Amino acid sequence: MLLDLKVGNLTEPVSGRSWDGPEIHRQVARRIARFKRHQLAAGDRVFLPFGNRLEFFVELLAIWRLGACAVPIDARLTPFEIDTLVKAALPRLAVVDDATDAAVLEALGAAGVGVIDTVDTGDEEALAGRSRLDDDALILFTSGSTGAPKGVVHTHRSLRARWVSLREQLGVTAFERTLCLLPTHFGHGLICNCLFPWLSGQHLFITPPFKPEIIMRLGALLDEHRISFMSSVPSIWRLALKLARPPSAGTLQRVHCGSAPLSAHVWDEIRRWTGTRQVCNAYGITETGSWVAGLSDADCTAEDGLVGEGWGAVVKVLRAADTSAPLDADSECQAGEQGFVWLNTPALMKGYFQRDDLTESAVIDGWFLTGDIGFMDAQGRLVLRGRERDEINKGGMKIYPADIDAVVERFAHAADVCTFAIDDAIYGQTVGIAIVLNQRDDETVRALHKWMTVHLAEHKLPSRWWIVDEIPRTSRGKINRDAVNAACIGLPSLELPKILAGGEKA
């Protein structure tokens, strides 16, 4: 590997469990032997519908040592969503833990996927050769769990390119004791917050993701474990700044915030709370191996949306957003002029899994069209101003409206639907939905709610509903989600809790 692969220690602060280097290697060797018994071969894919615990990381290394590809999956997905992803990725095996829902286990078994409990290893140990650089290492599904899945494929080469660039730009000293509060099934939490420091020999502390009870004692957690680095998303700070006491030990050296850029006000509040000025927006996209730009030295004036310079990447802001023709140098925006953000990096994904059409719509000649709007300031630093994409950013979890629309469209009494983002004081954004129903009675609403709970993970369920006569569309027949939001937000939403409670009484 291009990095020093002396893995660091792993600790679960909540449970108190911890593995040092020799124990990690022993656990990996046992899993290699177990995978061999299950005849896992190079090129096979393995689902990991669990995460944020010690076993996840040794499963990952064992899979890679055998030349196979890991597919981390959100543990909260429904059996329907799991089945959709299984049909797309065709995994050979799935490794689960004691928290995996029985219905998910049944769905995996029904699809013909071999299921293994992560603690079922036996005492036999085995070794295996390392994967080749251009082998598929990770598939991270970013959308489509209810319809047409969109899986980002990273090879070992692209992952190492990301870690090497981070090491060159940031070093590893500040990451000596790294805390991860984020899920390990998406790029930010896995590739950068966890694997970059851990595979650079640093000590990784991993907690269950997005747990309010953990965030409320964040300051104590940082002090107790002498944490030097943590990454985050804005929703963590909305809670921590209000309810958690600041750390007092002075060990925190650096803090990243991803998912959505911080405002200058919140940025300064985080600096005061953490006790360090080295706080920055880490601009990360799954397709580019997450952290692709930021401030190597964050001791500067906080500004709304300020990201910084590329980390192992060339960042350009262009007037064009077209991947069907080569980029035109004349379309590059001047300093301060807003345009579309493009990235060129050796850490770019291999492509979208078996979706050449999506890859071609996002990549041209090695340049990736991010879908974000921004500008370069007079110092050559990227500043983000918004997102062109429709995704809903709920506390750092990306929710795609089309996924929810696809489920509702299959409900017998739904004539039309539009899902959109609405502002939320805690999560930043949450899910709103406008629905045209053939029948508007409470029983139909309860039936639709039940349908959605069966087919959607809990965090994707809309929190506010509007029953409307029609969904407005553009002249080209397309839905403008912002326009639907604007039409609904001033109107009373459905009293969903009251309607659902009425069904329980009946």
Vertex 111: Cα angle to 110 and 113 (nearest 5): 105
Give me the amino acid identity at 60. Answer: L
pLDDT at 255: 98
Q: Do domains 16-131 and 392-505 have the same CATH topology?
A: no
Q: N- to C-terminal Cα distance for the chain?
A: 63
Instruction: Name the CATH architecture for the domain at 16-131.
Output: 3-Layer(aba) Sandwich (3.40)
Superfamily of domain 392-505: ANL, C-terminal domain (3.30.300.30)
DSSP-derived letter for residue 137 is: E
Could you tell me which residues come within 8 angstroms of residue 75 by beta carbon, excluding any fewer than 6 positions away? 49, 50, 51, 99, 100, 185
pLDDT at 333: 95
Tokens 């899993």 — which residue? 31
| Tokens (6 digits) for 133 | 């650089």
pLDDT at 466: 97
Nearest to 97 by CA among 81, 78, 73, 79: 73
Stretches where the chain sits below pLDDT 50 are 1-4, 475-476
Record the pTM: 0.85
Distance of alpha carbon 241 from alpha carbon 189, whole angstroms: 21
| Tokens (6 digits) for 410 | 């299959």
pLDDT at 32: 97
Distance of CA 210 to the CA centre of its chain: 12
- For 16-56, the pLDDT digits (tens) are 999 999 999 999 999 999 999 999 999 999 999 999 999 99
- For 252-289, the pLDDT digits (tens) are 999 999 987 888 888 999 999 999 999 999 999 999 99
pLDDT at 5: 66
Task: Break the chain into its structural domains and give their ranges.
Answer: 16-131, 392-505
Distance of alpha carbon 436 from alpha carbon 11, whole angstroms: 50
pLDDT at 495: 94
pLDDT at 504: 64
| Tokens (6 digits) for 497 | 């809790």
